[in-house]
Structures are given as structure tokens and as C-alpha cells.
Amino acid sequence: MDILTVLLSQTSFFLLIFARISGIFTAAPFYGSRNIPTYAKAGMSLLISYIVFPIVFSASTALPSALPAYVALVAGEFLLGLIFGFVASLIMQAIQMAGHILDTQIGFGMVNIFDPQFGQQIPLLGNFKYILALMVFLATNGHHILLSALVASFKLVPVTGVVIPASLAGFILDLVSGAFAIAFKISVPVLVSLVLADVAFGILARTMPQMNIFVVGIPAKLVIGVFALAMALPFYVAMLEVGFGGMYKDVYRLLSIVR
């Protein structure tokens, strides 16, 4: 085997690694943020691919010589990275959903802000909860754990060994339904306080019909909702740690399915 053949095979292997890491950096929390320029993401993907390459390179790996087969391999690696990042980002999507529910119930539904990370209008409390969750994610070294899972993915699912089974659809469906459950659990403490407030206002409206409950109730619900949100913050942070732990387990479950 001449040196040109060796270089071509190593370059082909490197591009497969780069495709998987690029997919992860497209959708994973923090790394896939729109606040990070595309060139920076591409540079980080290239740098990490360069670091990981000596660890995962195997000269015995057979790469197809035909271009269509090789392109299919690249697409499979990139798709695995995208699914990896999507699974990791579901906890953040659940937090956004919880914030939207609370905004609607408290009365902040009409107050949206533009978030450049998502490129759209997002709810006020959803943005607050997301920023707090991102701080907890970074403080607990979640970004380092994702990088370690990224490296482990090449051991659990070797390059050219990506297989997308039919059971993956059921796995993703379970994760999405679990994200709805997490969003509801995050918003339960505030929702319960608001339901009790509505019951109290209903009783007050029956006993004092001359009082305009609509005028009194809107600012009162704002105060009650914000107070309940402040009281529930310690439990929210504890739930985040549990949610991030579940997210790491889900990532490894994904790798065990597609290998």
C-alpha cells in the first residue's frame, strides 16, 4: 500500500468522524446555540475531530471506494450526531414548554421576547428558566459530560457501524412524551398555587358580587405566580440535576440502540 492510499483512507475516516461531531454540534444544548457563530462551531468540530482521530482510528476499518456508498456513510454519521444532539436537547425543550405554560397561566402570555439563540419569540418565563437551566448545566460540567459521551460514542458505535433500527422511533417517541411530563412537573408548584387562587377568587366573587374580580384578579395572579415561582426555585434546580442525569442516560441508551 503506497503512502497516497494511506492518506486517502485516513482522510476519508477523518471526514466520517467530522460528520458525526458536526451533527452533535448542530443540535446539542449549549454547543448548538445560535449565539455561537457557524464558523466557530465548524472550527470546534474540526478541532475535536482532530483530537479524537488518533483515539478512534482503525486501519482495519473497510471504507467503500464507491462515492455513493461513502456519501451514505457520511449521511449516517451526521444523522447519528443530529439524533444525539436532539436527545440531549429535549430537557431544554421541556423547560421552554414549562415556561410557556406558566406564562399563559400567570398572565405573561402577551409578553414575549426575541431570543437570538432560537431565532423566534419565546415566553418571558421560558427564557428565564432556560437561562437558569443553562447556568446549572454549565456549573455541573454538563458540557464536559456531553463531550465524554461524544468520545464514548465512537467506542459504542464505531465509525461505519451506524445502524438505524425501527425501534429508534419508539425510543424517540418515549423521550418526547417524557419531555411533556417533565414540563408539567416543573410547572406543577406554580400551577397549584394559581388554581387555589382561582378557587379563592371564585368564592370571593360569589360572596361579594359587587367587586370586580377581573380587575383585582389579574394583578393578584401575577403577584401570586411570581411569589410561587420564587419559592419553587430551589426545587426547580434540584429537578434540573435529576433531569440532566436522565438526559445523560438517554444519550447512552440511544448509542446502545443504534450500534
Report pLDDT digits (tens) over 164-184. Answer: 888 888 999 999 999 999 999
Domain count, the chain: 1
Of all residues in the chain, what percent carry a pLDDT higher than 90? 20
Which of the residue ranges 34-43, 61-70, 75-84, 207-216 would you say has the lowest mean pLDDT? 207-216
State the Cα–Cα distance between residues 194 and 200, nearest whole angstrom: 10
Q: What is the pLDDT of residue 210?
A: 76
**DSSP per-residue codes, 80-101:** HHHHHHHHHHHHHHHHHHHHHH
Which residues neighbour 32 within 8 Å (Cβ) at sequence distance 6 or greater?
A: 25, 26, 41, 85, 89
State the Cα–Cα distance between residues 74 and 219, nearest whole angstrom: 55
State the Cα–Cα distance between residues 26 and 41, nearest whole angstrom: 8
State the Cα–Cα distance between residues 130 and 113, nearest whole angstrom: 13
Q: What is the pLDDT of residue 29?
A: 87
Query: pLDDT tens for residues 190-226?
Result: 899 888 888 888 888 788 777 777 777 778 888 888 8
Query: pLDDT tens for residues 125-161?
Result: 777 888 888 899 998 888 899 999 999 999 888 888 8
What is the pLDDT confidence band of residue 103, given thresholds at 50, 70 and 90?
A: confident
Q: What is the pLDDT of residue 86?
A: 92
What average pLDDT does range 15-41 have in this prediction?
87
Which residues neighbour 124 within 8 Å (Cβ) at sequence distance 6 or greater?
A: 99, 103, 108, 111, 112, 113
The domain of 16 spans 3-258
Checking if the pLDDT of 114 tops 80, the result is: no
